[in-house]
Amino acid sequence: MIAETRLPMPTGRIAVPPIKCQGIKTKLVPFILGNVRWEEGARGRWIEPFLGSGVVAFNVRPHRALLCDKNVHIVDFYSALQRGVVNPVTVRTHLEQEGAILAERGEDYYYEVRERFNQTGNSLDFLFLSRACFNGVMRFNSKGKFNVPWNRKPERFSPAYISKIVNQVAAVARIMHGRQWKFHCCDWRVTLADAGREDFVYMDPPYVGRHVDYHGKWDDKDERDLARTVRNLPSGFAVSMWKENRYRKNVYLTEVWNGLPVLEFEHFYHVGASEHLRNSIIEALVISPSSVAEISHMEQPSLV
């Protein structure tokens, strides 16, 4: 670790991923990058055991990365994008075709696509569902089947909206090009066991009691096991988690993550069935002591 090296801040616009899920860190990218330091070095890798939408990695843009998730559909989507199987042309064609049928048939067709995806795991259907489901939630049942209901917007896939998604796909493809990134579907323990001294590990695990059924359970034991493992990592690390909202506090922050540097960021939490359930939340970033950058006040880049 080199104290003078701060993660590069996004210049101009933040790269927004095409896949949506609850807890996405798009608004927190400047906060995370502005407060963590890491020197990539000759062999260092950026490692994420909970890739999710991928927004942090897409904005850090390391030369080498190990990007993992237990959700096979996320890994398959970004692996296909890296190989060029998923690309701006295939995405536009698929969304135009499926969006037109959705506009004509509505709810019945959404559930037909959902059933098809649960049988085939098609990456383009995964993208479609991510944008056509209720409130951009990503949720799977105990059998691993996507079970989020329709968002009741039959005209969802307008030409402008499709172009926006296509542009996001193209931007992520450009970011991946020429970089040594590996995508794997595996348990977080497997990923962390591969971390070395020159690596940096960023973690955004499911929030206990909040992101239920993202893809498998996350409970008290998982949180405590992760905290114990992280404290013994040979590399620097940063862990995103929630601290509190107007109703309750995250007791794990003081019970199992105590003694580590913690920085805070307040923002609006958008997942909820109605407006009164969508409140502000204070996010926390737990950082290894050697990886805390000098806090700065930077303007937040705009989003694409």
Compute φ and ψ for 60, nearest 5 degrees.
Answer: -70, -45
pLDDT tens sequence across 184-205: 999 999 999 999 999 999 999 9
Of 72, 125, 85, nearest to 102 by C-alpha is 125
Strand-strand pairing, 200-203 and 13-14: unpaired
Residues 294, 304: Cα–Cα separation, whole Å: 28
Say whether pLDDT at 172 is over 70. yes
How far from chain centre, in Å, is Cα 51?
Answer: 5
Contacts (Cβ under 8 Å, ≥6 apart) of 261 = 286, 287, 288, 289, 292
Does the pTM surpass 0.95? The reply is no
Give bridge partners of residue 264 from the DSSP assignment.
284
Q: Which domains does the chain have, with CATH numbers?
A: 13-70+186-303 (3.40.50.150), 88-169 (1.10.1020.10)
pLDDT tens sequence across 256-296: 999 999 999 987 655 555 545 557 888 999 999 999 986 54
Q: Could you give the 3-state DSSP secondary structure of residue 66?
A: strand
pLDDT tens sequence across 19-50: 988 778 888 999 999 999 999 988 999 999 99
Between residues 66 and 21, which one has the greater pLDDT? 66
